[in-house]
Amino acid sequence: MLEWAAGRPAVMTIQDHRYFCPTRGKWTLAGRPCTDSMAPAACAACFPPEDAAYFREVYALTAERLEAVRRLRLVVLSEYMQRELIAVGVAAERIRVVPPFVHGLDAEAAPDGPACVLLVGRLAEAKGVRDAVEAWRLSGVDLPLVAAGTGPRRAELEAAGVEVLGWREPARLSSTYARARAVLLPSRWQEPFGIAGLEALAMGVPVVAWESGGIREWHPGLRVAWGDVRGLARALAEAVGRRAAMPVGFDRESAMRKLTAVYEEAFVPRRAVLAG
């Protein structure tokens, strides 16, 4: 597709790191947020020595993707993603930020179980699920921890006493949000946006999150310094019982206006020239 689009009017939405990070989503092998731009020496440090050949293949693939998208008009979910692409040489004028909006949830849904603290999404190390369990335990909050999602850490969470519901379609997820008194979002990788948090706010549920990637752009408060599990526990204890509200500018109408402007900018002038 990228080869076909080269030289033609085209708009592409980039939702993750695969065009500027060949490894773990701007989260290093040493377990820290990555502040380096994509370069062989910096990226090689995120692969163990025995994976040197694999690193070269993945790096080459990532560089090829990046070279292709440099020629397109791009839509990204957050200013964080915009900055990352500019840092690796994509022209700023080719990138527009159009945040996602919440859809498919029912704000009037009845709870599908007793009150809880909630995790939503992929149950993987990158999502900070172990940190969520530790923060929940340290918080002293007398509510069960429930996870809506699945992934490689599922069995580990269940062994730790977490109720794992598996993936849920929006109708059922609405009822799960309705029972939540707070949502934990301690992402270790740098979140391109963090749509689960926006969904929680749309349902009136407060979100306790680390400063990760694009989260700060929609999060109204209770953010915690990345990696601070005790801070996460304190914020969770403060958040439970509060009522949250959606931030301004993340509604469907705003997103559609921005997206329409992107496509008009890309295609309308060309159609006018052809018609003339």
Q: How confident is the model at residue 220 (pLDDT cuts 50, 70, 90)?
A: confident
pLDDT single digits (tens) 106-149: 999 999 999 999 999 999 999 999 999 999 999 999 999 999 99
Q: Is the pTM of this model over 0.85?
A: yes
Q: Are residues 217 and 138 in the same domain?
A: yes
Q: Is residue 14 part of a domain?
A: yes
pLDDT at position 6 is: 52
Q: Are residues 174 and 218 in the same domain?
A: yes
Question: Between helices 229-239 and 129-139, what is the axis angle to 10°?
Answer: 60
Q: Are residues 43 and 130 in the same domain?
A: no
Does residue 37 have a pLDDT over 60? yes
Q: Are residues 264 and 187 in the same domain?
A: no
Q: How confident is the model at residue 276 (pLDDT cuts 50, 70, 90)?
A: very low
What is the average pLDDT score of the chain?
92
The closest of 85, 146, 117 to 205, measured between CA atoms, is 117
Range scoring the smallest mean pLDDT among 106-120, 160-174, 255-269: 255-269
Q: Is residue 246 part of a domain?
A: no
Q: Is residue 107 part of a domain?
A: no
Q: Is residue 86 part of a domain?
A: yes
Residue span of the structural domain in which 54 resides = 2-101+253-275
pLDDT at position 266 is: 85
Q: Are residues 124 and 230 in the same domain?
A: yes
Q: Is residue 110 part of a domain?
A: no
Q: Is residue 106 part of a domain?
A: no
How many structural domains is the chain composed of? 2
Q: Are residues 135 and 161 in the same domain?
A: yes
The dihedral through the CA atoms of 36, 38, 39, 43 has a sign that is: positive
